Chains A and B, each alone.
Chain A
Amino acid sequence: MSSRKSLIKIKPNSYKDGEIVKVSFMVMHPMETGMRKDKTTKEIIPAKYVNSVKFEYNGKVITTMNVWESLSTNPVFTTYMKINGEGKFSVTYSDSTGEVHEKSMKIKPKG
Protein backbone atom coordinates (compact mmCIF):
# COMPACT_ATOMS: atom_id res chain seq x y z
CA MET A 1 0.00 0.00 0.00
CA SER A 2 1.56 3.21 -1.07
CA SER A 3 -1.60 5.25 -1.44
CA ARG A 4 -1.36 7.17 1.82
CA LYS A 5 -0.91 10.78 0.82
CA SER A 6 2.15 12.58 2.08
CA LEU A 7 4.36 15.53 1.22
CA ILE A 8 8.01 16.51 1.73
CA LYS A 9 8.88 20.21 1.76
CA ILE A 10 12.35 21.72 1.74
CA LYS A 11 12.84 25.42 2.44
CA PRO A 12 14.16 27.48 0.80
CA ASN A 13 13.23 26.03 -2.59
CA SER A 14 16.68 26.68 -3.96
CA TYR A 15 19.76 25.94 -1.83
CA LYS A 16 23.51 25.59 -2.07
CA ASP A 17 25.76 22.72 -1.08
CA GLY A 18 26.58 22.96 2.62
CA GLU A 19 23.49 25.04 3.38
CA ILE A 20 21.28 24.09 6.33
CA VAL A 21 17.69 23.80 5.11
CA LYS A 22 14.36 23.29 6.83
CA VAL A 23 12.74 19.99 5.98
CA SER A 24 9.12 19.10 6.69
CA PHE A 25 7.28 15.86 6.24
CA MET A 26 3.51 15.71 6.50
CA VAL A 27 1.19 12.78 6.04
CA MET A 28 -2.55 12.20 6.02
CA HIS A 29 -3.10 9.86 8.94
CA PRO A 30 -5.97 9.57 11.45
CA MET A 31 -3.65 9.21 14.50
CA GLU A 32 -6.38 7.32 16.37
CA THR A 33 -5.51 6.98 20.05
CA GLY A 34 -7.62 3.88 20.67
CA MET A 35 -9.39 5.81 23.42
CA ARG A 36 -12.06 7.51 21.36
CA LYS A 37 -15.60 6.22 20.96
CA ASP A 38 -17.50 6.31 17.70
CA LYS A 39 -20.35 8.77 18.23
CA THR A 40 -22.99 6.58 16.54
CA THR A 41 -21.96 2.98 17.34
CA LYS A 42 -20.50 3.83 20.81
CA GLU A 43 -17.72 1.37 19.99
CA ILE A 44 -14.12 2.26 20.75
CA ILE A 45 -12.24 3.15 17.57
CA PRO A 46 -9.13 0.95 17.45
CA ALA A 47 -5.75 2.63 17.81
CA LYS A 48 -4.00 3.50 14.56
CA TYR A 49 -1.16 5.96 14.74
CA VAL A 50 2.17 6.60 13.06
CA ASN A 51 4.74 5.01 15.39
CA SER A 52 8.00 5.54 13.58
CA VAL A 53 9.50 7.96 11.09
CA LYS A 54 12.99 7.87 9.58
CA PHE A 55 14.69 10.61 7.52
CA GLU A 56 17.52 9.41 5.26
CA TYR A 57 19.78 11.30 2.86
CA ASN A 58 21.68 9.24 0.29
CA GLY A 59 21.28 6.17 2.49
CA LYS A 60 22.59 7.85 5.63
CA VAL A 61 20.19 8.11 8.57
CA ILE A 62 19.72 11.77 9.52
CA THR A 63 16.89 11.59 12.06
CA THR A 64 14.75 8.82 13.53
CA MET A 65 11.57 9.31 15.53
CA ASN A 66 9.49 7.17 17.88
CA VAL A 67 6.01 8.55 17.60
CA TRP A 68 3.06 8.14 19.99
CA GLU A 69 -0.67 8.61 19.64
CA SER A 70 -0.60 12.17 21.05
CA LEU A 71 0.49 13.70 17.77
CA SER A 72 -2.29 15.54 15.92
CA THR A 73 -4.25 14.01 13.05
CA ASN A 74 -2.40 14.54 9.76
CA PRO A 75 0.89 15.03 11.61
CA VAL A 76 3.76 17.27 10.58
CA PHE A 77 7.46 16.61 11.35
CA THR A 78 9.85 19.53 10.84
CA THR A 79 13.60 19.72 11.43
CA TYR A 80 16.78 20.96 9.73
CA MET A 81 19.25 19.15 7.55
CA LYS A 82 22.64 20.01 6.11
CA ILE A 83 22.80 19.77 2.31
CA ASN A 84 25.70 17.53 1.33
CA GLY A 85 25.71 16.87 -2.40
CA GLU A 86 23.20 15.72 -4.97
CA GLY A 87 21.02 12.73 -4.31
CA LYS A 88 17.87 11.53 -2.63
CA PHE A 89 16.14 12.46 0.60
CA SER A 90 13.72 9.79 1.74
CA VAL A 91 11.24 9.33 4.53
CA THR A 92 10.16 5.89 5.71
CA TYR A 93 7.29 5.69 8.15
CA SER A 94 5.21 2.97 9.72
CA ASP A 95 2.07 2.90 11.82
CA SER A 96 0.81 0.85 14.75
CA THR A 97 -1.17 -1.47 12.46
CA GLY A 98 1.95 -2.41 10.49
CA GLU A 99 1.49 -0.18 7.44
CA VAL A 100 4.85 0.92 6.02
CA HIS A 101 5.33 3.65 3.42
CA GLU A 102 8.14 5.57 1.79
CA LYS A 103 8.27 8.98 0.21
CA SER A 104 11.30 10.56 -1.38
CA MET A 105 12.52 13.74 -2.99
CA LYS A 106 15.47 14.62 -5.21
CA ILE A 107 18.14 16.85 -3.71
CA LYS A 108 19.79 19.18 -6.21
CA PRO A 109 21.93 21.93 -4.69
CA LYS A 110 22.75 24.92 -6.90
CA GLY A 111 26.40 25.93 -6.91
Chain B
Amino acid sequence: MQRRDFFKQLGAVATIAAISPAISFADEAKKPKGPNDLSFKAALDAITGGKGAVESSKVSLKVPEIAENGAVVPVTVEVESPMTDSDYVKAIHILATKNANTRCIDVHLTPANGKAMFATRIKLGDTQDVTAIVALSDGTFLSASQNVKVTIGGCG
Protein backbone atom coordinates (compact mmCIF):
# COMPACT_ATOMS: atom_id res chain seq x y z
CA MET B 1 0.00 0.00 0.00
CA GLN B 2 1.25 3.48 -0.85
CA ARG B 3 1.74 5.74 2.11
CA ARG B 4 -0.82 8.25 0.83
CA ASP B 5 -3.47 5.55 0.65
CA PHE B 6 -2.54 4.42 4.09
CA PHE B 7 -3.23 7.84 5.55
CA LYS B 8 -6.36 8.29 3.44
CA GLN B 9 -7.72 5.11 4.91
CA LEU B 10 -6.92 6.42 8.36
CA GLY B 11 -8.86 9.59 7.60
CA ALA B 12 -11.97 7.56 6.82
CA VAL B 13 -12.20 6.41 10.40
CA ALA B 14 -11.11 9.69 11.99
CA THR B 15 -14.59 10.51 13.28
CA ILE B 16 -14.46 7.57 15.64
CA ALA B 17 -11.70 9.31 17.56
CA ALA B 18 -14.20 11.91 18.76
CA ILE B 19 -15.81 9.24 20.94
CA SER B 20 -12.77 8.66 23.10
CA PRO B 21 -12.89 11.88 25.22
CA ALA B 22 -16.43 10.98 26.33
CA ILE B 23 -15.13 7.64 27.55
CA SER B 24 -12.41 9.23 29.64
CA PHE B 25 -14.91 11.65 31.28
CA ALA B 26 -17.02 8.71 32.38
CA ASP B 27 -13.93 7.20 34.00
CA GLU B 28 -13.21 10.40 35.88
CA ALA B 29 -16.54 10.30 37.76
CA LYS B 30 -15.61 6.89 39.17
CA LYS B 31 -12.14 7.98 40.28
CA PRO B 32 -11.48 6.95 43.88
CA LYS B 33 -10.78 9.72 46.37
CA GLY B 34 -7.30 9.81 47.82
CA PRO B 35 -6.63 10.32 51.56
CA ASN B 36 -4.58 13.46 50.93
CA ASP B 37 -6.94 15.25 48.53
CA LEU B 38 -6.55 19.00 48.95
CA SER B 39 -7.61 21.79 46.62
CA PHE B 40 -5.19 24.42 45.38
CA LYS B 41 -6.94 27.17 47.38
CA ALA B 42 -6.75 25.16 50.60
CA ALA B 43 -3.10 24.25 50.00
CA LEU B 44 -2.18 27.88 49.23
CA ASP B 45 -3.91 29.07 52.41
CA ALA B 46 -2.18 26.42 54.49
CA ILE B 47 1.24 27.34 53.12
CA THR B 48 0.89 31.12 53.34
CA GLY B 49 -1.35 31.27 56.43
CA GLY B 50 -4.04 32.90 54.32
CA LYS B 51 -1.73 35.71 53.16
CA GLY B 52 -1.45 34.47 49.60
CA ALA B 53 1.59 34.78 47.31
CA VAL B 54 2.67 37.51 44.88
CA GLU B 55 3.64 36.51 41.35
CA SER B 56 7.28 37.42 40.88
CA SER B 57 9.88 37.29 38.16
CA LYS B 58 12.40 36.39 40.87
CA VAL B 59 10.94 32.90 40.75
CA SER B 60 11.85 30.97 37.66
CA LEU B 61 9.67 27.91 37.10
CA LYS B 62 10.75 25.61 34.32
CA VAL B 63 8.28 22.99 33.09
CA PRO B 64 7.66 21.69 29.58
CA GLU B 65 4.86 23.32 27.59
CA ILE B 66 3.84 19.88 26.40
CA ALA B 67 4.62 16.86 28.55
CA GLU B 68 5.85 13.81 26.67
CA ASN B 69 4.27 11.73 29.36
CA GLY B 70 2.05 12.87 32.25
CA ALA B 71 3.72 10.37 34.56
CA VAL B 72 7.14 12.05 34.35
CA VAL B 73 7.04 15.83 34.07
CA PRO B 74 10.31 17.60 34.88
CA VAL B 75 10.00 20.67 37.15
CA THR B 76 12.81 23.04 38.10
CA VAL B 77 12.36 26.03 40.41
CA GLU B 78 15.08 28.61 40.86
CA VAL B 79 14.82 31.72 43.03
CA GLU B 80 17.01 34.83 42.98
CA SER B 81 18.31 35.01 46.54
CA PRO B 82 21.66 35.70 48.23
CA MET B 83 20.99 32.71 50.58
CA THR B 84 22.63 34.45 53.55
CA ASP B 85 21.59 33.95 57.19
CA SER B 86 19.54 37.15 57.07
CA ASP B 87 18.05 36.80 53.60
CA TYR B 88 17.28 33.38 52.19
CA VAL B 89 14.59 31.20 50.68
CA LYS B 90 12.98 29.19 53.46
CA ALA B 91 10.87 26.93 51.31
CA ILE B 92 9.88 26.01 47.77
CA HIS B 93 6.46 24.39 47.36
CA ILE B 94 5.48 22.73 44.09
CA LEU B 95 1.76 22.35 43.39
CA ALA B 96 -0.16 20.72 40.56
CA THR B 97 -3.31 22.82 40.56
CA LYS B 98 -5.68 20.17 39.18
CA ASN B 99 -4.37 16.98 40.78
CA ALA B 100 -6.71 15.63 43.50
CA ASN B 101 -4.00 16.38 46.04
CA THR B 102 -2.49 19.53 44.61
CA ARG B 103 0.61 19.31 46.81
CA CYS B 104 3.63 17.64 45.21
CA ILE B 105 6.48 18.58 47.52
CA ASP B 106 7.45 21.12 50.20
CA VAL B 107 11.19 21.74 50.21
CA HIS B 108 12.63 23.49 53.28
CA LEU B 109 15.94 25.09 52.41
CA THR B 110 18.65 26.66 54.58
CA PRO B 111 21.44 29.14 53.84
CA ALA B 112 23.75 26.08 53.66
CA ASN B 113 22.16 25.25 50.30
CA GLY B 114 24.10 28.20 48.88
CA LYS B 115 21.71 28.51 45.97
CA ALA B 116 17.92 28.41 45.93
CA MET B 117 17.10 25.70 43.41
CA PHE B 118 15.08 22.54 43.49
CA ALA B 119 14.33 20.09 40.67
CA THR B 120 12.21 16.95 40.53
CA ARG B 121 9.68 15.11 38.35
CA ILE B 122 5.95 15.03 38.99
CA LYS B 123 2.84 13.21 37.79
CA LEU B 124 0.10 15.24 36.17
CA GLY B 125 -3.30 13.62 35.67
CA ASP B 126 -4.38 16.16 33.09
CA THR B 127 -3.47 19.41 31.35
CA GLN B 128 -3.13 22.02 34.12
CA ASP B 129 -1.12 24.82 35.71
CA VAL B 130 1.91 23.95 37.80
CA THR B 131 2.61 26.54 40.52
CA ALA B 132 5.68 27.18 42.64
CA ILE B 133 5.15 29.03 45.93
CA VAL B 134 8.28 30.39 47.55
CA ALA B 135 8.55 31.33 51.23
CA LEU B 136 11.21 33.96 51.99
CA SER B 137 12.97 34.45 55.31
CA ASP B 138 11.23 37.82 55.78
CA GLY B 139 7.86 36.06 55.94
CA THR B 140 6.64 37.01 52.47
CA PHE B 141 5.58 34.64 49.70
CA LEU B 142 6.28 34.73 45.96
CA SER B 143 4.90 32.54 43.20
CA ALA B 144 5.16 31.55 39.54
CA SER B 145 2.82 29.42 37.41
CA GLN B 146 2.93 27.76 34.05
CA ASN B 147 0.55 25.60 32.07
CA VAL B 148 1.57 22.09 31.05
CA LYS B 149 -0.33 20.26 28.33
CA VAL B 150 -0.53 16.54 28.94
CA THR B 151 -1.12 14.35 25.90
CA ILE B 152 -0.91 10.67 25.19
CA GLY B 153 2.25 10.61 23.15
CA GLY B 154 4.03 8.09 20.97
CA CYS B 155 3.36 4.40 20.53
CA GLY B 156 3.09 2.06 23.49
Contact = CB atoms under 8 A, between A and B. Distances in A.
Interface of A: 20, 31, 33-35, 44, 47, 57, 60-73, 75-82, 84
Contacts of B73: 72
Given A20-B114, A81-B112, 18 more contacts: A20-B115, A34-B35, A35-B32, A35-B100, A44-B32, A62-B112, A63-B110, A65-B107, A68-B36, A68-B101, A70-B99, A70-B124, A71-B121, A75-B120, A76-B120, A79-B107, A79-B109, A82-B114
Contact of A70 (B33, B117, B122): B122
Contact of A63 (B31, B109, B121): B109
B55 interface: no
Chain A to chain B: the 6 pairs with minimum beta-carbon distance, closest first? A82-B114, A20-B114, A80-B115, A78-B119, A72-B121, A66-B106
Interface of B: 31-36, 71-73, 96, 99-101, 103-110, 112-115, 117-124
B119 A70 contact: no
Contacts of B124: 70
B113 A68 contact: no
Contacts of A84: 112
A21 B114 CA distance: 9
Contacts of B121: 71-72, 75-76
Contacts of A47: 34-35
A72 B92 CA distance: 18
A84 B111 CA distance: 12
Given A35-B34, A60-B112, A82-B112, A76 B119 contact: yes
B23 to A, nearest CB: 16
Most B CB within 10 A of own CB, among A60, A72, A80: A72
A18 to B, nearest CB: 9
A79 to B, nearest CB: 5
